[in-house]
Chains A and B, each alone.
Chain A
Amino acid sequence: MALSEIEIIEGCKKADKRAQQALFEKYSKRLLGICMRYCQSKDEAEDVLQDGLVKIFFNINQYKGDGSFEGWMKRIIVNTALNNYKSNLKRYYHSDLEDAASEIVSEVNLNDIFEVKDLLNIIQSLPTGYRMVFNMYAIEGYNHKEIGELLNISEGTSKSQLSRARQLLQQKVAELQGEKVAICEINK
C-alpha cells in the first residue's frame, strides 16, 4: 500500500528505508524535471537529483510543515542545481553576450501548443548562465536581487542575462513554431 505524504515524511525523519524509497518513487520524476531545466544533459540532471535527494533525506527534520513538502523539496533541488552550477563554472562554456544576442522576433502565439520536450531542449541549449537566470526568474519566481546573491552576480548582470535568455528563447521558439506550421501545411 502506498504511503501518504505524511507517512513518508514521518518515516524519513526516522530514517526508515521504506519511507525513503516511497519518497524516491513518488517524487523522483518531478524533481528530475526540475533538474533537467538546470542541466545540460540527463546524466548531469540525475547526478544533481541524487545529491539533492541525499540532502533531502538528511535535512528532512528541518521541514516543520510550513508550506508544502513538495515546495520544500523543490527548493532543495534548485539549490543543489545552483551549487552544481557554481562548482562547475569553469567547465561550462560561456558564450559571449554579444554573440548570443540576436534580433527580437515577432510575437509568439500563446495558443500554439509546444511539446514540453521541445521547450526543454531549447532551454538546455541556452548558455548556462542564461539558463540559470531564466529558470530562477521566470519559473521559480526569484527576483534579481535574490538571483544575484545566489549566483554571486550583480543584479544588473542578472537582468541582462534574463533579457538575453528571453531573446534567444523567443528566437528558438519562433523557429520551432515555423517548423510546426510548415509541417502542418505539408500534412494538409
Chain B
Amino acid sequence: MKQNYEIDEIYRKAFNDFQEEEPSRLTWAALSEKIVYKRWLGINFSKFSYRVATWSIATIIIVGVGLTTYFVANQDKETKNITNLSQNSSNLSKNQSTQTSDIKQNKELNSQSTASTPNNDFDNSKNSTNKVGTINSNQTSEKTTNNPSNQVAYKNKNELSITSTKSKNKVDNFEVIKKEMLNSEDSYEIKSAVVQTDIEKPIPFKNEKTQINSGNIDSTVVVNEIKTNNSSDNNIKKKINTDSTVGVISAKQLPNQNSKKSAYRNFAVSLFAGSSYIDKTFGSTAGNEHYTAFRLHNEAPINTLALGAEISYRFNRLVLQSGLNYTQFGENINYEIMNVTDTKSINIPIIEPIYNQDTAVIGWDTIGWIDFKDTTLALKQYNRNNRFDYLEIPLLAGYQFGKKRLIFEVSTGLSFGFLVNAKGVILNTKENDVYEINSKNDFPMNKNIYNFVFRFKFAYRINENWNIYLQPNIKYNLNSAFSKDFPINQKYNSSGFNFGVSFDL
C-alpha cells in the first residue's frame, strides 16, 4: 500500500504550483467577448455588438415608419387627385348643353333609384344630369335582362368597368383597380372604387364647352361611394355619389337588410392564441451592475402562451381595439449561490504554566482569549422556472390597408395588466439568498403593470364576415414588474406571433 501513497505524493508535489504555458487559443480578446454585456432575444451581446444591434434595429424601425408614412401619405394624395379629376369630369359634363338620349336614360334611372330608396345616403337626384357613363361588370355571366336601360348588373362584381353611354362624352376603358369586397350573392357594397384609364395625358380642358372625346380622359377617376340597398324593385339602379359622379351603376335586386345590423357592421370580434418570446431588461443599474450581470448570465428567456379575446371598431381606415388578453412573463433561472448557513464564535484560552520556585509546573493560568469565527458556507442551487401570469386590457388604435381579400393593419397603444398568479424565486440584491414567490401578494411582485404594444396584422378575408389573421407583435413593460421597495427596476418585453380569427358583426 505504501507505493499508492507515494504516487499520490509525487503528483501532489508536482502539481502543487504547476503553471501551464500560455493558453494558445484562449486570448483575453476572445474571452472578453464571452463576458456578456447584454442578453436580448436569447442572443448574448458584447457591449459593442449590443450597441450595433440596438442602433440597427432603431434604424430599421425609423426607416420602416418613414416608408409607411410616405406610402400612406402618397395614397391619400393620389386618392385626392383622383377625386378632383372625377369632379372635373362631372363639371364638364354638367356644362354640356345638349344631352343625348343615353343621358336621359341615366336621369330616368337615377330618378327611379331615388324614389325606391329614400334613405339611401348616396342618392342624389339633383346631380343625375352629371352622369357620363355607366359602371358595368366585366363578367359576362348572370346578366340581368329586365333592366329598362342599357345598363347591366351582375352578382359578384369583382371586375367593374365604366363605359360611356354618351357618344360625345365618352369615357372609355375604365377599369376598377381598387375597391372593397363584394361578398354576398344577394347584396354588395362598394365603399371606394378607383377607375383608371389607359391614357396618361391630362384632360384637355380648353373651355367649359370642350367635349370629352374618347381617348382624352387622363389617369384615374375615383368612384368614392357606390352602394346598393334594399328596394322593392326587382332591379334598381343606383348612382354613385355626387362628389365623383362619372356614371351610374345598375344592380340586381337586393334582399331587405336589417338597418340596425348594418349600423354595426364596423364592429368585429376576434379570438387569438399565440406564442411570445419573453426577455427582460433592467432599468438604472447604478451600483447593481454585478447583480444584473449575474442574473442575465444565470437566467434564460422563455417562450409563453398568449391568449386573447378582443373587439374592434372600424371607421374609414382607422381601427380601435380593446378586449382581454392573457400574458405570461418570467424566465428560467439556474442560480448557484454561496451563502452563510452558520457562524460560530469559538474562544480559545491562551494559557501559561505557573511555576513554583523550583521551576516545576504547578498549574496553568489563562492570560487571554483568542476569538475564532467558524463560518459554514453552503452552495445552494436553484433551478426553477419563474412564471408571472397577467390579465391585460389593451387599448389600441390602428390603421388598415387593404387590397381585395388581404388586409394589412398596424396598431399601437397601451395595455394594462393585472397580476393574477406568480410563482418563482428572485435573487436578492445581496446575492446570498432568494425571495420565494408563491402568490401574487409575495414580495417583490408589482400587481399592476402597463405596457406599450405594437402590432402588425396580416388578415385574409374568407367571406363576408370571417377573417383569419397572423399578428406579429411586440410589447414592453413601461413600469417595473417588481414593487418600488425592490431596488431593481426590471421590465419584461415580449415579441411573438398570434394566430386568430375575427368575425365582422
A binds B: yes
Footprint of B on A, CB under 8 Å?
Answer: 13-15, 17, 20-21, 24-25, 28-30, 32-33, 35-37, 42-43, 45-46, 49-50, 53-54, 57-62, 66, 104-108, 110, 114, 116, 119-120, 123, 134, 137-139, 163, 166, 169-170, 173
* Residue from A17, A57, A62, A119 in contact with B338 in the complex, judged by beta carbons closer than 8 Å: A62
Query: A28-B26, A43-B25 given as contacts; is B431 within 8 A of A62 (CB)?
Result: yes
* Residue from A30, A54, A105, A108 in contact with B34 in the complex, judged by beta carbons closer than 8 Å: A54
In the assembled complex, which residues on chain B have CB atoms less than 8 Å from the CB atom of A21? 28, 32
State the majority secondary structure of interface residues on A. helix
**Interface hit among B4-12, B109-117, B364-372, B416-424:** B4-12
* Residue from A53, A61, A106, A138 in contact with B290 in the complex, judged by beta carbons closer than 8 Å: A61
Q: Mark B297-327, 1 if CB is under 8 A from A, else 0.
A: 1100000000000000000000000000000
Interface residues of B in 442-485 (CB under 8 A from A): none
* Residue from B18, B30, B35 in contact with A30 in the complex, judged by beta carbons closer than 8 Å: B18
A169 shortest CB reach to chain B, Å: 5
Query: A50-B34, A59-B336, A123-B11 given as contacts; is B20 within 8 A of A32 (CB)?
Result: yes
* Residue from B6, B11, B26, B293 in contact with A49 in the complex, judged by beta carbons closer than 8 Å: B26
In the assembled complex, which residues on chain A have CB atoms less than 8 Å from the CB atom of B19? 29-30, 32-33
CB pair B3–A53 under 8 Å, yes or no, is no
Query: A20-B35, A107-B2, A170-B3 given as contacts; is B8 within 8 A of A28 (CB)?
Result: no
In the assembled complex, which residues on chain B have CB atoms less than 8 Å from the CB atom of A53? 31
Number of B positions contacting A (CB below 8 A): 42
With the chains together, A36 CA to B15 CA distance in Å?
11
Residue on B with the closest CB to A53?
B31
With the chains together, A32 CA to B21 CA distance in Å?
8
In the assembled complex, which residues on chain B have CB atoms less than 8 Å from the CB atom of A106? 3
In the assembled complex, which residues on chain A have CB atoms less than 8 Å from the CB atom of B9? 110
A22 shortest CB reach to chain B, Å: 10
Check: B358 CB closer than 8 A to any chain A CB: no
B229 shortest CB reach to chain A, Å: 71
With the chains together, A63 CA to B210 CA distance in Å?
94
Residue on A with the closest CB to B337?
A62
Footprint of A on B, CB under 8 Å?
Answer: 2-4, 6-12, 14-15, 17-26, 28, 30-32, 34-35, 289-291, 293-294, 297-298, 336-338, 375, 377, 431-432
With the chains together, A43 CA to B15 CA distance in Å?
19
In the assembled complex, which residues on chain A have CB atoms less than 8 Å from the CB atom of B432? 62
CB pair A116–B18 under 8 Å, yes or no, is yes
Give 7 CB contacts A-B under 8 Å: A29-B21, A30-B19, A35-B20, A110-B10, A114-B14, A123-B11, A138-B11
With the chains together, A62 CA to B22 CA distance in Å?
28
In the assembled complex, which residues on chain A have CB atoms less than 8 Å from the CB atom of B11? 119, 123, 134, 138-139, 169
In the assembled complex, which residues on chain B have CB atoms less than 8 Å from the CB atom of A32? 19-20, 23
With the chains together, A54 CA to B34 CA distance in Å?
7
CB pair B294–A58 under 8 Å, yes or no, is yes
CB pair A107–B6 under 8 Å, yes or no, is yes
Residue on B with the closest CB to A57?
B35
In the assembled complex, which residues on chain B have CB atoms less than 8 Å from the CB atom of A20? 32, 35
With the chains together, A108 CA to B5 CA distance in Å?
10
A50 shortest CB reach to chain B, Å: 5
CB pair A105–B3 under 8 Å, yes or no, is yes
In the assembled complex, which residues on chain B have CB atoms less than 8 Å from the CB atom of A166? 4, 7-8
CB pair A61–B298 under 8 Å, yes or no, is no
In the assembled complex, which residues on chain A have CB atoms less than 8 Å from the CB atom of B31? 24, 50, 53-54
Residue on B with the closest CB to A24?
B28
With the chains together, A66 CA to B10 CA distance in Å?
29
In the assembled complex, which residues on chain B have CB atoms less than 8 Å from the CB atom of A37? 15
B283 shortest CB reach to chain A, Å: 17
Given contacts A60-B290, A61-B290, A134-B11, 18 further A-B contacts (CB under 8 A): A29-B19, A29-B22, A30-B18, A32-B20, A33-B18, A33-B20, A37-B15, A46-B26, A50-B30, A53-B31, A58-B35, A62-B432, A116-B14, A137-B8, A139-B15, A163-B4, A166-B7, A170-B7
